[in-house]
Amino acid sequence: MNYTFKPSTGGRYLLSIANHQEITAVLAEFCRDQHIRSGVVGGIAAISEATFRFLDPATKQYVDKTFAEQMEVTCLTGNISQKDGEVYLHIHVTASRRDYSCIGGHLLNAKVNGACELYVADFLLDGVDRKFDPETGLNLYDFHE
């Protein structure tokens, strides 16, 4: 099992991602399993490796960087929507290193090494999609009926 969870009322969940799993992959799996199409996610974790992305506004290209070291995810925050009928996660993190300094960015992936404790709130809404915006180079929210 890649995760355990406990549902609360109104589409809210507590989610524990299993050790050594990849956070974004398991979170997407959980959203598919629970049919979550729109919402928000937040939480904390301990990780051994992570790849962060930085969008360069000048080139509109993502620059990815992998950090292979033990870190505390001091803040994970993001949202859940749909793109082309698939779960679309937009997550940012701040993580602290052994020397207590922090790094962060848009989260591409991260491997749990310890625990990953999240909350997920399903907004129970349809019509929360993503559409590529050429001006910014981002997949922006596309709300519709």
Taking the least distance from each CB to Fe ion, the nearer of 106 and 130 is: 106
Residue nearest to Fe ion (CB): 106
3 state SS of 105? strand
| Rounded Cα gap, residues 51 and 65, in angstroms | 5
Whose Cβ is closer to Fe ion: residue 83's or residue 106's? 106
Q: Residue 119: which H helix or E strand, with range?
A: strand 102-122
* Contacts to Fe ion by CB under 5 A: 106
Q: How far is the CB of 38 from Fe ion (least distance, A)?
A: 17
Tokens 């993001």, residue located: 78
Residue 105 CB, nearest approach to Fe ion (Å): 8
Q: Which is nearer to Fe ion, 15 or 91 (CB)?
A: 91
Question: Contact 47/110 with Cβ under 8 angstroms?
Answer: yes
Shortest spacing between CB 65 and Fe ion, in angstroms? 14
- Six token digits for residue 108: 């591409």
